[in-house]
């Protein structure tokens, strides 16, 4: 196989080849590093590439395999992580000027688990500054660019993760999701992005944006890869108070159960309002296919859906301000305009607003538990109502209104699920006439990632959207 073909492998495919000794960790790591060298001048997906450390790790994994030693589910497989996670000895910039020279002294819990599973770490990925935005346009490190059209945004905040996975610069990546920051770039870049249940994956060693809504999850080429990564990442971490002690199922083993018998709800309103016609057509066709495959499709109401955005904002913005208060006081000019604008907006909320929003959140969760997830196993919606807009439009100043309009459009269908804390996935379900990816969002009840993954895998297996490669990559 050529280097480009190796870099196009899924995580699971590469893992099987490595286990069968048909592919070495050195070969697959070199292929990804070559792809990074080839494409980075156009894509700007990475902030830091740790090539030397990756090569050393690949050699160590190869020696282990030669000696017959197994180090874990990801032995010798190259991955990259958003530059919001601590990795000992590596810069953690959070996509900011303020932390440009910050070097982590310890591994985050997820980095520890990746290394324990045998993964080879390629480096740190670009993101919207401090993960506080949905476009991925970064004024300090430049925007990550969409492999399907480098003049288009990737979506954010896990922008580099979306671009790198879609372009074959790594086999998989990690992102964070506070209002949609895994699922949005997954949708816009044509890959799979999974936000697990709140508390499923430890956030220790990850710079927070909002303690109430931050999630960590995988961004991959296939649903199987997301299931595999979640098995590695999930589980109790006593060092993270938000991490919950719940059994971690064998997600990969249950993937092939199909959708027969699953009840899928389609919201009557909100989730299909003000949607690009091409997006609605693709998503409704995907839902129809799930029905033809044996799922029971029904319309549902989305209780209190109009109140959710306000409640989420009244919680998230003050929490973000609490994280950034000192830096905002001392180094305000070092923030990008859009992030500074959002942080300053956080100061307009009173403690009363925050408490009321938290109370409303409890009411919303109870309503969805009793009125939605008692009747259906999953809901199906578009991930985003739009496809990738131009970087110029997405990066417009807050005063212009253009950039804000793009941001509000991107988060509209994802952030309600952050307030709920339920697991949700974006899986490719089509392309626009301009050749831009479209994502189907499936969400399930709390702790039931298995049903979400199973339905997404069944749909993926019945289609070939995930097999398409961006023109930029195919031409490289």
Question: Which residues is 152 bridged to in the sheet?
Answer: 390
- The Cα 101–Cα 270 span in angstroms is 43
CB atoms within 10 A of CB 350: 11
> Is 68 exposed, middle or buried, given 0-12, 13-18 or 19+ CB atoms closer than 10 A?
exposed
What pairing do the DSSP bridges indicate for beta strands 149-153 and 145-146?
Answer: antiparallel
What pairing do the DSSP bridges indicate for beta strands 378-382 and 263-267?
Answer: parallel
Indicate which residue of 157, 187, 202, 426 is catalytic.
157
User: Which of these, 82, 140, 74, 50, lies nearest to 331 by C-alpha position?
Assistant: 140
Domain locations in the chain? 3-474
To the nearest 10 degrees (0 to 180), the angle between helices 337-346 and 308-330 is 110
User: How high is the pLDDT of residue 395?
Assistant: 82
* 181 annotated active-site: yes
Region of 91 on the Ramachandran plot (φ > 0 left; ψ -120 to 50 alpha; else beta): beta
Helix (H, G, I), strand (E, B) or coil at 3: helix
Asked if 455 contacts 469 with a C-beta cutoff of 8 angstroms, the reply is: no
Collect all residues with Cβ–Cβ distance below 8 Å to 309 and sequence separation of at least 6.
412, 415, 416
Q: Is the pTM of this model over 0.85?
A: yes
User: How high is the pLDDT of residue 396?
Assistant: 74
DSSP string, 76-130: T-EEEEETTB--TTSB--TT-STTTT-B-SS--HHHHHHHHTTPEEEEEE--SGG
User: How high is the pLDDT of residue 216?
Assistant: 98
- Predicted confidence pLDDT, tens digits, the chain (476 residues): 666 689 899 999 999 999 999 999 999 999 999 999 999 999 999 999 999 999 999 999 999 999 999 889 999 999 999 999 999 999 999 999 999 999 999 999 999 999 999 999 999 999 999 999 999 999 999 999 999 999 999 999 999 999 999 999 999 999 999 999 999 999 999 999 999 999 999 999 999 999 999 999 999 999 999 999 999 999 999 999 999 999 999 999 999 999 999 999 999 999 999 999 999 999 999 999 999 999 999 999 999 999 999 999 999 999 999 999 999 999 999 999 999 999 999 999 999 999 999 999 999 999 999 999 999 999 999 999 999 999 999 987 776 667 889 999 999 999 999 999 999 999 999 999 999 999 999 999 999 999 999 999 999 999 999 999 999 887 66
DSSP code at position 295: P
Indicate which residue of 82, 124, 195, 203 is catalytic.
82
User: How high is the pLDDT of residue 189?
Assistant: 98
Asked if 120 contacts 139 with a C-beta cutoff of 8 angstroms, the reply is: no
- The Cα 380–Cα 284 span in angstroms is 9
- Match domain 3-474 to its CATH number in 2.30.30.140, 3.90.1300.10, 2.30.130.10, 3.90.1150.10: 3.90.1300.10
- The Cα 210–Cα 320 span in angstroms is 6
Q: Provide the H-helix boundaries in 277-336.
A: 277-292, 308-330
Name the phi and psi angles at 231, rounded to 5: -60, -35
* 82 annotated active-site: yes
User: How high is the pLDDT of residue 5?
Assistant: 86
Q: How many residues does the chain have?
A: 476
What pairing do the DSSP bridges indicate for beta strands 172-177 and 215-220?
Answer: antiparallel
Asked if 136 contacts 153 with a C-beta cutoff of 8 angstroms, the reply is: yes
- The Cα 29–Cα 57 span in angstroms is 9
Taking CA atoms, 302 is separated from 265, 306, 383, 406, in Å, by: 10, 9, 16, 24
User: How high is the pLDDT of residue 157?
Assistant: 98
- The Cα 388–Cα 225 span in angstroms is 24
- The Cα 472–Cα 476 span in angstroms is 6
Helix (H, G, I), strand (E, B) or coil at 186: helix
User: Which of these, 208, 97, 98, lies nearest to 157 by C-alpha position?
Assistant: 208
Tell me how many degrees the CA angle 437-440-446 measures, rounded to the nearest 5.
Answer: 140
- The Cα 249–Cα 234 span in angstroms is 9
CB atoms within 10 A of CB 474: 11
User: Which of these, 249, 245, 257, 140, lies nearest to 201 by C-alpha position?
Assistant: 245
Helix (H, G, I), strand (E, B) or coil at 438: strand
- The Cα 447–Cα 307 span in angstroms is 24
């Amino acid at each position: 196989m050529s280097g480009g073909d190796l870099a196009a492998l899924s995580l699971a495919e590469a893992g099987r080849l490595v286990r069968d000794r048909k592919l070495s960790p050195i070969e697959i790591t070199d292929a990804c590093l070559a792809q990074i060298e080839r494409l980075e001048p156009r894509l700007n997906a990475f902030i830091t590439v740790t090539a030397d450390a990756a090569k050393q790790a690949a050699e160590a994994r190869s020696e282990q395999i030669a000696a017959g030693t197994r180090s874990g589910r990801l032995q010798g497989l190259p991955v990259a992580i958003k530059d919001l996670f601590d990795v000992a000895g590596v810069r953690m910039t959070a996509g900011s000027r303020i932390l440009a020279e910050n070097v982590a002294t310890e591994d985050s819990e997820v980095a520890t688990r990746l290394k324990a599973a045998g993964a080879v770490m390629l480096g740190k990925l670009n993101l919207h500054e401090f993960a506080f935005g949905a476009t991925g346009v970064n004024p300090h490190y430049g925007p990550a660019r969409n492999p399907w059209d480098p003049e288009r945004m990737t979506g954010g905040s896990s922008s580099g993760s979306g671009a790198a996975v879609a372009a074959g610069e790594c086999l998989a990546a990690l992102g964070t999701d506070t209002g949609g920051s895994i699922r949005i770039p997954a949708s816009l870049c044509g890959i799979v992005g999974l936000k697990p249940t709140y508390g499923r994956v430890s956030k220790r060693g990850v710079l927070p944006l909002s303690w109430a809504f931050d999630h960590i999850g995988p961004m991959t080429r296939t649903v199987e890869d997301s299931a595999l990564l979640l098995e590695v990442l999930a589980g109790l971490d006593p060092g993270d108070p938000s991490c919950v002690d719940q059994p971690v199922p064998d997600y990969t083993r249950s993937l092939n159960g199909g959708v027969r018998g699953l009840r899928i709800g389609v919201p009557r309103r909100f989730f299909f309002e003000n949607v690009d016609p091409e997006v609605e057509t693709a998503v409704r066709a995907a839902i129809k296919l799930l029905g033809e495959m044996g799922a029971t499709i029904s319309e549902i109401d989305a209780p209190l859906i109009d109140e959710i955005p306000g409640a989420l904002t009244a919680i998230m913005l003050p929490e973000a301000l609490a994280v950034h208060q000192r830096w905002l006081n001392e180094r305000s000019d070092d923030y990008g305009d859009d992030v500074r604008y959002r942080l300053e907006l956080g100061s307009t909320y009173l403690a009363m607003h925050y408490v009321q929003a938290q109370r409303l959140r409890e009411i919303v969760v109870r309503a969805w538990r009793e009125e939605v997830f008692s009747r259906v196993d999953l809901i199906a919606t578009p991930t985003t109502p739009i496809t990738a807009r131009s970087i110029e439009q997405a990066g417009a100043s807050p005063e212009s209104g253009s950039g804000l309009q793009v941001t509000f459009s991107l988060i509209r269908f994802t952030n309600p699920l952050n307030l709920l804390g339920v697991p949700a996935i974006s899986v490719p379900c089509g392309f626009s006439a301009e050749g831009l990816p479209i994502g189907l969002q499936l969400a399930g009840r709390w702790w039931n990632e298995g049903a979400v993954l199973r339905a997404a895998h069944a749909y993926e297996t019945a289609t070939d959207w995930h097999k398409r490669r961006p023109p930029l990559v195919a031409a490289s």
